[in-house]
Amino acid sequence: MADIVFFFVLGVIQGILEWLPVSSSGNITLLLVNVSHVSFSEAVRVSFFLHAGTMLSVIVKFRQRLYELAKEVMYREKTPFVYFYVVATLLSCLIGVTFYWLLELEIPDMVGSLLIAFFLIITGIIIRTRKEGLKTMQEPTLKDACLVGIAQGVAVIPGISRSGTTIAALLSRGINQKDALETSFLLSIPPVLGLMILTFSGFQPVYLLSLVVSFAFSLVSMEILLRAARKLDFSWFCFAVALMTILIVGVQVV
């Protein structure tokens, strides 16, 4: 019963935090390590797999845009956005898989928690320094694709927000926030599918509960949180979680 409640809560947290630049995988990993006492490497794998629910909500919300993108690819329409999407995805997958295998190493739980705290601080700094542009995604460049691909690939590291870094990368290239948000969501689908394949071997039936809950909460909260994300400064959330993690680890050492 305790596991059911815990994974229900994880689904709620994943469904809400995925849309905010605060690293849902970092927060889920910290909860699994420090509350459920799961090993760091296992916690990382579970946090990756739970992204499946929010990925499905992206597919539902942006189904029309995805349909148009699929048609462009099928009919080999050489639009700038298709090139951008393919290059950014390939680059992010190449970098992301490299970091994923590094995370498979046996990292001590306390060290892993402190690393997440450190990268949450980095995420907070990125959020505070990003600026909005005015351009649309109609004419993205190769440089845009490379920068976003690198940002998304590095964000495999728990504690670094995928949405935060990709949106910040797009904004730094002069893209307006609306297009940056939508593009960031669309780009999330291929790497999440890849992570699901890599982590499926450790699947447990109770994970389905988290997937269903995160999907439902994503659909309900997406619009509200997207509006809030444009007005609120979430960097302080990253700093607060990082400080809390450091304190928890400090108490365990003492």
User: At residue 203, does pLDDT exceed 80?
Assistant: no
pLDDT value at residue 119: 87
Residue labelled with tokens 């590095």: 154
Dist CA 153 CA 169 (whole Å): 12
Residues 66, 207: Cα–Cα separation, whole Å: 27
- Other beta carbons less than 10 A from residue 200's beta carbon: 12
**Look-up: residue for tokens 């469904």?**
15
For residue 253, the model assigns a pLDDT of 59
pLDDT above 80 (res 153): yes
Q: Residue 2 above 80 pLDDT?
A: no
CA distance 95 to 149: 8
Residue 18, helix vs strand vs coil: coil
- The string of pLDDT tens digits covering residues 101-144 is 888 777 788 888 888 888 888 888 887 776 766 788 888 899 99
- What are the contacts of 69-72 at 24+ separation with CB within 8 A? 69/186
Span 10-24, average pLDDT: 85
**pLDDT tens figures, 177-197:** 778 888 988 898 988 888 888
Both structure tokens of 136? 């649309």
Q: Please report the DSSP string for 114-180 in residue order.
A: HHHHHHHHHHHHHHHH-----B-TTS--HHHHHHHHHHHHHTTSTTS-HHHHHHHHHHHTTB-HHHH
Is residue 124 within 8 A of residue 242, CB to CB? The reply is yes
Cα 97–Cα 157–Cα 4 angle in degrees, nearest 5: 100
* Global pTM value: 0.85
CA angle at 31 for the pair 125 and 59, rounded to the nearest 5° = 75
- What is residue 42's predicted lDDT score, i.e. its pLDDT? 86
Among the residue ranges 21-35, 70-84, 156-170, the one predicted with the least confidence is: 70-84
Cα distances (angstroms) measured from residue 83 to each of 105, 137, 156, 204, 254? 34, 12, 23, 37, 53
